[in-house]
Structure 1
Amino acid sequence: MTMKYLSIDRIMGYDNVQPRSNTAKLVEDKKIPPEVAARIERMEGAHLNGNEAFPLWTAAVLAGNVVGLNNYVLNITSLTYIGMRLLYNTIYINHRTSAVSWIRSSVFFASVSLPISLLIRAARKAADR
């Protein structure tokens, strides 16, 4: 969000009255180079994807803590997830080709496997009680 905000603010000024319209206004402005507008659209997409993935991740970590999964497992999985999300966002924001977009999608699905694995571990531990 911060990179997107700073980019929009520097290019055309950030409208905090209607903040959700900033990206669309920037894309429609013919004075803005198309590659700059496309990059900011990708920043918006990465931000929205993070918002969409967050509930699954939160539920998995909470479930793991509630059933008492090993702290080492929770911590390593958490760090791996955060690292994969950083890689995902970097690829998403900076890619320009269809081939690289498939790498981005692969990183996304690999990252989603982490909270799903935590949920499965938590469910198994809960079932064993």
Structure 2
Amino acid sequence: MTAQPDERPAPPPAVLDDGGVYLPASVAFTLWKPLRDLLARHRADGGHIHPEVAAALDALRASAYAHMCDPEQDKRTSRDDPDRTDLVTTGELAGRLGVTGFHVRRLAAAAGITRVAHGRWAPEDADRLAELRRTR
């Protein structure tokens, strides 16, 4: 008889002692996508996003894509986002920019852009890096 891996469910969402909030990675995408769209409309209307709000949205995005890239299929949320199978690899982005993968990471760090998962970039971030590269 083989032992089954310990598969404890993720803790439920909770308010932390310091007033912050814990959210399991499995809900990050469901929350991130409408918030991203809402904030994009707010920006398009000339609104300003406070840095801490932008940082929270980036944290949700990073959590969502890290969860989606989890090799354990039953934990993936990609079925919730069929149009997001277009993540760009570091190699693809390097080819597009005409630089090495190491340089892609340096350019992204300088622009404050982070990967959504190991070796994977959101297409809008790849477009932003390409735009920054063209204007320099």
Same fold flag (TM > 0.5): no
Higher relative contact order (CA closer than 8 Å, sequence separation 6+): 1
What's the TM-score once normalised by structure 1's chain length?
0.28
Name the structure with the higher helix share: 1
State TM-score, norm by structure 2.
Answer: 0.27
Tell me which protein shows more strand as a share of its residues. 2
Larger radius of gyration, structure 1 or 2? 1
